[in-house]
Structure 1
Amino acid sequence: MALPLYREVREQPPIHDPKKPSGHAGLWFERFYDRYKGDFSNTKQDDNAFRDWLVCFQHLAGAGELLDSAIQRQSQLADNLGGCSAIFRCDWHFVSGMGNDHPLENGFNWHPVWGVPYLPGSGLKGLVRAWVEAWQFDDADGEQKSQKRQRLLDWFGSVDKTPDKETDAQTGKVIFFDAIPLRPVKLVTDIMTPHMGEWYAQGEKIQDISRDADKIPADWHSPNPIYFLSAKEPTFLVSVAPRDAVVAPDLDMEEVMQCVADALEWLGAGAKTAVGYGQFTLDEAATATHQKQQRQQIEATKQQQAQAAALLGLSGVALELLQHSQKAKWQSDKNAFSKQGELEYWLGKLKAEPHPVAVAHLRELFQVHFPGLLDNPKKLEGKKQKPAFSPRQQGLAETLLGIEHSLMSQ
């Protein structure tokens, strides 16, 4: 069946490009299924057609730069609200949304914006609630029963999920964000082979075993291969936060995250958890690295904002130097900062036109990339008392110190 698309896109969709897939895989999966028969006389084709179509999605889904941006914003939002984030790694395959309507009869949850597999916040919330209800508290009576009731009310807004049974329902105090992948996700085609489909579909209609042998649950039936899409070992960012500043003091977000970790590890997320899908483990090393990078990003943003504010009142060589510093990424790139001739040029301009803001900026960068140089350019180290800094570095430091001295003398 021809799709309502340009021929080149129809014949070689960018989402199926084996070298560099691009576009929204979820949009193509949900809206552009093209294995119907031309006359629509039979909307189902053979299993090979289903399999071949799914094979087209066996590549990395998502754009790295967009996911990095989404991860950064979600982490920052959770942190600003007083919450926390952690990294969870799937031990095997993950699949969610198999009950969604689709011609293949097995759907898939795609993030509507990023086009990647994800775990909706509502699903994560339900998973954690199930853990609290059935597993976290061993004692069904006594003090633990009271604690369980209060936790359900505080975190989720109700003790019972049935509205008719609730008299004190409220808004839950915890926000569960969508769990999104840290990086593009590898998609694979999985298969299940149920043997007793007729038993599940028409088992209650059996009147005579001899006449309805095809409906009996037995191992002699032929397997029915069913193909579906899954994500291979995805790594997700999970974020939780208080709903507002009023309830924040009443919540222990570390305890909430611990319940998330327990639920993801012991119960699993998504579909087919009984056969090992969706089992997640907290990656403590990756979480620590992510938190460190987040702090560095926040600090870098603050510095950029401070520099932008400083630029508003500058002119001449000071304005030129700070603009060049931002463009060349001197703050984070030591090689760019210490490039031969680069500092000599700017120090020469500052020597002719000294400016305290520009000089202070260079001092800060010297301290970042050449610690101790400005304090003692002639420093010696080691048993042989060799110079700690190169002749060029010593000369640059002495030039900058000379400019600072001239400013102090004015």
Structure 2
Amino acid sequence: MPTLLGRTRINAIHSALPSQGEIHPGLRIAHGLDRWPEGDSSDAKHQLIAKIAELEVPAFYKKALERWQRVTANKMRFHAFRGDISQRLYIGVTRDSPLETGVTVSHSYGMPIIPGSSLKGLARAAASYLERNGSFQIRPEVMQWLFGEGGDTGESGGLYFHDAWWAGSGEPFIAEIVTPHHTDYYGKEGKKPASDTDSPIPAPQIAVQGGFYFVIEGDAAWTPVAAALLQNGLQQWGIGGKKSSGYGRFDTFTATKGNHL
């Protein structure tokens, strides 16, 4: 028996959604599977991911991005730039999803975002690394002011890292395949030894392609510094999952305030 993933009445509404047009992509990702098939579920996930990868950018999102770019055009308050992914991006892989591997999207528009907290952490890690190897000199009190102390009671810092909005061309989502060879080893937490005779099992996943619009808000004397640190981290280490395989790295940055969709 297949397992129902939602209430029958709600599943009927989502099943009636068109495959193209003004669709909230996040709803397609979260509710695209109304039931979990018995046995091997890879075909159902393949089909859903293929539909998601074909989704076009909704017109309502284009208007929202244009509005956000106008709001953040004041260079005395904001430092904005666009970054392009060199390959693909895995962001929010561990999020709960019928696809088993998730992707981070905005609640309002269902389009990919990179959380500002992740960007802030990456910029801080880049500053610490560059300071240690002598490429960047920064006093501890300045470091604390830029990024805060962290923790539940610490100060948040003098700059605000906004969520990065997707601002690419074409389709934002793309189908991916990973082929783990040692599913028993990982599934049983190492209790069953991995073997060279284990067979690869294709696992459908979803990734993001294109570019993002980044915004840092705060003192105009310091936002370019933070932006340079963030760009260094995005280029050298990347962000999200599977960074060791080249995912999540950015290779092109342009200062911008205009529309890119």
TM-score, shorter chain, exceeding 0.5: yes
Could you tell me how far 1:228 is from its partner in structure 2? Answer: 0.8
Cα distance in structure 1, aligned partners of 2:85 and 2:107: 22
Instruction: Return the offset for 1:185.
Output: 3.4
Matched, 1:202 2:188: yes
- Taking only aligned residues, the RMSD between alpha carbons, in angstroms, comes to 2.9
Question: Which residue, out of 88, 97, 101, partners 1:102?
Answer: 97
Matched, 1:54 2:49: yes
Q: What CA distance in whole angstroms lies between the structure 2 residues aligned with 1:78 and 1:154?
A: 24
Q: Give CA-to-partner distance per residue, 1:110-168, whole Å, 9 cap, x none.
A: 1111221111111111221221223454149xx94xx252343011111xx456xx8xx
CA contact (8 A) 1:71 1:180 kept: no
Deviation (angstroms), 1:182: 2.1
Structure 2 counterparts to residues 11-410 of structure 1, below 5 A: 13-14=17-18, 16-17=19-20, 21-37=21-37, 45-64=40-59, 66-77=61-72, 79=74, 82-139=77-134, 144=137, 147=138, 149-158=140-149, 161=150, 169-183=154-168, 185-202=171-188, 204-205=190-191, 215-232=192-209, 234-242=210-218, 248=219, 251-284=221-254, 287=255, 290-291=256-257, 293=258
Question: Does the 8 Å contact 2:11/2:34 carry over to 1?
Answer: no
CA distance 1:68–1:235, shift in 2 (3 Å) = farther
Structure 2 segments unaligned to the other structure (5+ residues): none
Matched-pair contact (CA < 8 Å) for 2:163–2:214: yes
Provide TM-score, normalisation by structure 1.
0.55
- Measured against aligned partners, the alpha-carbon deviations of 1:60-119 in whole angstroms (never above 9, x if no partner) come to 443245324424434533626622101111111112111001232211111111221111
SS at match of 1:134: helix
> Could you tell me whether the CA contact under 8 Å between 1:265 and 1:279 is conserved in 2?
yes
- Alpha-carbon separation, structure 1, partners of 2:159 and 2:30: 32
Q: What is the rounded CA distance, in whole Å, between the counterparts of 1:136 and 1:218 in structure 2?
A: 43
Q: 1:65 to 1:103 in 2, by over 3 A?
A: closer
CA–CA separation in structure 2 for the residues paired with 1:8 and 1:30: 13
The AA in structure 2 aligned to 1:114 is Y
CA apart distance, 1:264:
0.8
My pick for the range that moved more, 171-180 or 47-56, is 47-56
C-alpha distance in 2 between matches for 1:264 and 1:109: 17
Q: Which has the higher contact order (CA 8 A, sep 6+)?
A: 2
Q: CA deviation at 1:36?
A: 1.9
Name the structure where helix makes up a greater proportion of residues.
1
| 1:261–1:281 CA contact under 8 A, matched in 2 | no
Q: Which of the two has higher C-alpha Rg?
A: 1
Sort the Cα spacing of 1:273 and 1:81 in 2 relative to 1 into closer, same or farther, 3 A. same
Give the superposition deviation at 1:5: 4.8
Q: Distance in 1 between matches of 2:229 and 2:141?
A: 15
2 CA distance for matches of 1:236 and 1:154?
26
Q: Secondary structure at the match of 1:260?
A: helix
